[in-house]
């Protein structure tokens, strides 16, 4: 294929397919050759046909087919293919890819649906796992970004219940509730720590001995000394 011996490539791949009709490699080579000939539609049809005939090999073939559709600008077709791979639907990488593509197409409802399906899987299989909570947080942030505050509230509540000391999540939750349920926001605000509890302890000596602070202090002292020398005798202090 890479030596531009098209006929020879076709003969070899046809021979390989006849020897092992269920192996995807010959079909992938044939599809690659068709793409080199700019026959992308034929390549996609070939992969789709083989995928339908060999369900066990379908995931890898659907991934390749989705990539070809993306190369042709068929984003929604690629999304349909990717979402048909059930064993990969909940994977963070797949969720990220689908959400990105749906966002590009301004199909926010479908993007949120992808989040919901993945979160539901982890809720049943790996509840409260790091991946589960990470997806919930990403879903909440995504919904807030696109003004879906009512939908984001349930996600933020779930995160806050998992970690009641998470002030950042609580603040997000209060902010979202303030626009759709002010009374609930007031109740939640009672869980915020007092200003005294949130005060920061600053080590003044460490700050003063830091390079930046020392430089500023010394420079200021030097300038003050020079100014005093220049102005000495011209100024009189009166009491």
Let me know if residue 3 belongs to a domain: yes
**Number of domains forming the structure of the chain:** 1
Let me know if residue 19 belongs to a domain: yes
Q: What is the pLDDT of residue 16?
A: 77
CATH code of residue 18 = 1.25.40
Let me know if residue 132 belongs to a domain: no
Using DSSP's 3-state secondary structure scheme, residue 235 falls into strand
Q: How far apart are CA 8 and CA 57, in angstroms?
A: 26
Tokens read off for 5? 């011996």
Let me know if residue 133 belongs to a domain: no
Structural contact between residues 97 and 66, judged by C-beta atoms closer than 8 angstroms = no
Q: What is the pLDDT of residue 215?
A: 44
Residue 2: domain span: 1-87
Q: How far apart are CA 236 and CA 104, in angstroms?
A: 72
Close Cβ partners of 112 (under 8 Å, ≥ 6 residues apart): 139, 142, 143, 148, 151
Let me know if residue 96 belongs to a domain: no
Let me know if residue 51 belongs to a domain: yes
Per-residue pLDDT of the chain (239 residues; tens, 9 = 90+): 545 667 777 787 787 777 877 888 989 989 998 999 999 999 999 999 999 999 999 999 999 999 999 999 999 999 999 999 999 999 999 999 999 999 999 999 999 999 999 999 999 999 999 999 999 999 999 999 999 999 999 999 999 999 999 999 999 999 999 999 999 999 999 999 876 655 544 454 544 554 444 444 444 444 444 554 444 444 443 33
């Amino acid at each position: 294929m890479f030596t531009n011996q098209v006929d020879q490539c076709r003969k070899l791949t046809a021979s390989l397919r006849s020897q092992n009709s269920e192996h995807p490699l010959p079909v992938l080579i044939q599809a690659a050759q068709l793409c080199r000939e700019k026959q992308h539609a034929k390549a996609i049809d070939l992969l789709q046909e083989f995928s339908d005939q060999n369900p066990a090999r379908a995931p890898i073939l659907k991934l390749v087919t989705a990539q070809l559709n993306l190369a042709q600008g068929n984003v929604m077709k690629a999304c349909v293919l990717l979402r048909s791979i059930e064993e990969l639907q909940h994977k963070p990488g797949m969720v990220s890819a689908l959400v990105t593509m749906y966002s590009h197409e301004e199909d926010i409802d479908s993007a949120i649906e992808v989040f919901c399906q993945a979160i539901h899987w982890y809720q049943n299989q790996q509840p409260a796992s790091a991946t589960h909570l990470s997806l919930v947080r990403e879903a909440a942030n995504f919904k807030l970004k696109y003004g879906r505050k009512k939908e984001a509230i349930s996600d933020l509540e779930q995160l806050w219940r998992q970690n009641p000391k998470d002030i950042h999540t609580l603040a997000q939750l209060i902010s979202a509730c303030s626009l759709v349920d002010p009374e609930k926001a007031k109740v939640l605000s009672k869980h915020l720590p007092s200003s005294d509890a949130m005060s920061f302890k600053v080590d003044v000596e460490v700050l003063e001995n830091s390079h930046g602070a020392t430089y500023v202090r010394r420079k200021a002292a030097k300038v003050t000394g020079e100014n005093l020398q220049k102005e000495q005798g011209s100024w009189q202090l009166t009491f």
